[in-house]
A and B are shown apart, each in its own frame.
Chain A
Amino acid sequence: DIQMTQSPSTLSASVGDRVTITCRASQSISSWLAWYQQKPGKAPNLLIYKASSLESGVPSRFSGSGSGTEFTLTISSLQPDDFATYYCQHYNSYSHITFGHGTKVEIK
């Protein structure tokens, strides 16, 4: 199975900061990568699909990049509503989908 490694596991930042989260795949997944935001007690919310496509309704301060094995999620200017946990997820194969372990973005 393809393993997804996210870093960092926790990130402390302030409102207005530029934030970058990295996700590495154990083998190439082309651009078959999605990013989600999850708040406590809530279902995940899709932010980015196909590595860099912004889901409808998601603020433009979120962006994704990368291909192959290395990917990044960037929040250009962190807002109070963005403090949450973020997950990457590959869908290179529908029979072996895996998520990263998550990155918690905390208030500094």
Chain B
Amino acid sequence: EVQLSESGGGLVQPGGSLRLSCAASGITFTTDAMTWVRQAPGKGLEWVSGISGSSITTYYADSVKGRFTISRDNSKNMLYLQMNSLRAEDTAVYYCAKGLGFFGYWGQGTLVTVSS
């Protein structure tokens, strides 16, 4: 059974940093590309970032480029999102998902709130 489980969300002040983690099981993690998608409260879905299985290629939405860094540790089946210089508009539930194009498996999400 495929399981994706995010953690690391919480309350952070504007300008602060947070690192999200996504633990994966039941998939061939070393070859599977992974993606982060977020959803602001009461709003729609927004693609954030993606990474190839080998970490050679990474992709970022313009809204987070230069502030967020996606990475992975294939030895631990873990995906990460380092978020720096956080803004109020980054407040959202962050989901990790399997794939780069379309997403057949999603985690349950972790809430990030950026507020003073």
Contact = CB atoms under 8 A, between A and B. Distances in A.
A36 B45 CA distance: 10
Given A43-B108, A99-B46, A34 B100 contact: no
Size category of the binding interface on chain B: 20 to 34
A46 B104 contact: yes
B42 to A, nearest CB: 10
Contact of B44 (A91, A94, A100): A100
Contact of A95 (B59, B103, B106): B59
Contacts of A94: 50, 59, 100-101
A98 B47 contact: yes
Contact of A91 (B95, B102, B107, B108): B102
Nearest to B106: A43
Contacts, number: 55
Size category of the binding interface on chain A: 20 to 34
Given A43-B95, A55-B104, A99 B109 contact: no
A13 interface: no
A99 B102 contact: no
Contacts of B104: 46, 49, 55
A89 interface: yes
Contact of A87 (B44, B59, B95): B44
A76 to B, nearest CB: 22
B47 A99 contact: yes
Contacts of B109: 43
B45 A91 contact: no
Contacts of A32: 101
A102 B44 contact: yes
A40 B112 CA distance: 18
18 contacts: A1-B62, A34-B102, A38-B45, A44-B45, A44-B95, A44-B103, A44-B106, A46-B102, A46-B103, A50-B102, A89-B45, A89-B102, A94-B50, A94-B100, A95-B59, A99-B44, A101-B44, A102-B45
